[in-house]
Amino acid sequence: MKTTITKPLVQFILVTTLLTILFRISLSELLNNQLWNLVFIPPVIYFILMYVSGRFFGIKEYEYLPIGDIGFRFHLSTFVVFFTISYSMSYLEYMSSSEPRGIIDTTLLIWGILLFSHFVFYQKFKRNNIKGINKEDIFD
C-alpha cells in the first residue's frame, strides 16, 4: 500500500483537486457571463498545468521508487478527482446552466474508455516487470 499511495501521488492529488475546482469555477463563470470567446482559456490552462504537475510529481515518484504503474495511478487519480468534483458541483448546482449533466456523462464515457485502454496497456507492461519495477530499472 505504501508503494501505491506515495507522498508524491498524494501531493499530485491535492494539486489536481485545487486545479480542477479552479477550472470548473472559471469555466462556469465564463459560461454564466456568456463570454463565449474566452471559454477555451480555462481548459487550455488546466491542461497545461495538469501536464506540468503530472510530470513534476511523476519524476519525483520515479526517483523515489520506479514502480511501473506510475502513469496509470496518476491517470486514475486524475479521473477520480475530476469526476468527483464535477458531479459534486453539478449536484450542488454550482455549474452553469450551459453545462448540462449529459456533458459530464459523455466525458465520463469517453475518458473511461481511454482509462480502460491505459489499464490494458499497463497489464501488458506488467509482463516485463518484477513486483511493479521494470526489469531494466532494477539494477540500473
Partner 1 sequence: MTLDLLNSWEETYKKGQLTLWIFLSLKDGDKYVDEIKSFIENMSNNTISCEEQSIYRSLRKYLHLDIVEFNLKEGNKGPERKYYKLTELGDNLLNQFIERNINLFYDEKIKKLLKKEIK
The nearer residue to partner 1, 4 or 34, going by C-beta atoms, is: 4
Check residue 77 and give left, alpha or beta (phi > 0: left; psi -120 to 50: alpha). alpha
What is the DSSP-derived secondary structure letter of residue 37? G
Please give the grid coordinates belonging to residue 136. 531494466
Give long-range contacts, CB 8 A cutoff, 24+ apart: 126-129: 126/68, 126/69, 129/68
Closest by CA position to 82, among listed 17, 10, 9, 11: 17
Give the one residue of 22, 25, 49, 64 binding partner 1; rule: CB under 8 A. 64
131 is a site residue for partner 1 (CB under 8 A):
yes
Distance of CA 42 to the CA centre of its chain: 15
Options 35-43, 51-59, 63-71, 115-123: segment touching partner 1 (CB under 8 A): 63-71
What are the backbone dihedrals phi and psi of residue 40, each rounded to the nearest 5 degrees, phi first?
-75, -20
Q: By rule CB under 8 A, what string of x and - marks binding of each residue 67-96 to partner 1? A: x-----------------------------
125 is a site residue for partner 1 (CB under 8 A):
no
52 is a site residue for partner 1 (CB under 8 A):
no
Options 31-39, 71-79, 117-125, 127-135: segment touching partner 1 (CB under 8 A): 127-135
User: What is the spatial distance between Cα 82 and Cα 77, in angstroms, rounded to a whole number?
Assistant: 8
Give the one residue of 63, 92, 93, 102 binding partner 1; rule: CB under 8 A. 63
Q: Residue 137 CB, nearest distance to partner 1 (Å)?
A: 8
Write out the residues near partner 1 by the rule CB under 8 A: 3, 63-67, 130-133, 137-140
